Amino acid sequence: MRSRGSRLLTFTGAIAAGAAAMTYTAYQNDIKAARRRVETDMRLIDGADGPIELAESGDGPAVLLVHGAGGGFDQGLDLGRTFLGDGYRVIAPSRFGYLGTPLPADASPEAQADAHLRLLDALQLDSVPVIGVSAGAPSAMQFCLRHPQRCSALVLIVPLAYMPQRVTAAAPSVFFEMVLNTIAASDFLFWTATKIARLTLLKTILGTPVQNYWRASIDERRNVDEMLRSILPISRRAAGIRNDSVVSSTLTRYQLEDIRVPALVISAADDLYGTYEPGRYTAEQIPDGRFVGFPRGGHLLLGHEEEVRSQITSFLKECPEAGKRTAMAG
């Protein structure tokens, strides 16, 4: 009996070791592919606080697309394809602390807006529409406020924005925050979570109710799964994620009435990041602001991809300055 039990333990251990080896091999393959993806088709320009990483895609009028939390130039390009389709030149920088753009001592939205200006100068672009997605919204708004002559139109999608007397959700437990911070700093733990806790990440990272995922089409669900995978390597985005958390917790009201360009703000009422009411407030305070709200869709606006693209492209075509090619002379 002892010999048979010993053989069973040995067999079980061999299976566990084999499964662990297969898991680690799968992780290595995925993380290598993720690293290759963020090291391809990007370039760096010199900035006052270090290099600014960016990538471009498409041809047509230039649009500056400012990515959200957990992003980088790669997320910006993906969002450009989703929200603009063909016919635009998408300029997609990595914000402070994301991928190849370092986190400077001053990583405020105001400083980030000035970095956007240096990027346009380097690309010899005069005035462009700016699209700020989620945590990319503060620097997009600041860009229009600080450099109004360089912003021809403003689009804010599920924006991180100020709201007077905002009702905040109950704070997560210390343990839950610790778990999220640990996952955000570890490529392997995040990769594992995408395999065994995908729907939990959908709520906690992507801010979208699970029922929206199940209501979505197969293609949309596939896109959501790919979006989660595309956050790898998360270790190269951790500094930016932490900085976005600081910006979110210290956000103040901007002088929205001084934004003098047409603005379009889009959100969903069931966005778990609570962007709907702040988004509507922002649109109401901008003199030429317009708000488009959906009853459901979450932070990803699931189920509304075509309508959102139509709203944005129609809006840009209506803005006389936004549809022009905007290369600087000389």
**CATH assignment at residue 156:** 3.40.50.1820
- Any domain includes 21: no
Q: Per-residue pLDDT tens for 302-315?
A: 999 999 999 999 99
> pTM, whole model, 2 decimals?
0.88
Is residue 20 in a domain?
Answer: no
Domain contains 201: yes
Tell me, yes or no, whether 6 lies in a domain.
Answer: no
Structure tokens that stand for 83 in this block:
């929200």
Does the residue 268 lie in any domain? yes
pLDDT tens string 72-81: 999 999 999 9
Confidence label for 172 from pLDDT (cuts 50, 70 and 90): low
| Pairing mode, strands 128-133 and 62-66 | parallel
Q: Would you state the pLDDT for residue 48?
A: 77
Domain assignment present for 26: no
Q: Which of 31, 324, 318, 71 is nearest to 195 (CA)?
A: 31
At residue 22, the pLDDT reads 66
177, 233, 272, 303, 319 from 205: Cα distances, Å? 12, 15, 10, 18, 34
| Residue 216 or 140, more confident | 140
Number of domains in the chain: 1
User: Within a domain: residue 102?
Assistant: yes
Instruction: Print the domain residue range for 131.
Output: 33-162+171-330
Q: What pLDDT shows up at residue 49? A: 76
What average pLDDT score do residues 144-164 get? 97
pLDDT-derived band of residue 23, with 50, 70 and 90 as boundaries? confident
Asked, for residue 51, whether it belongs to a domain, the answer is yes
Q: What are the tens digits of pLDDT across the range 271-303?
A: 999 999 999 999 999 999 999 999 999 999 999
Average pLDDT over residues 26-48: 92
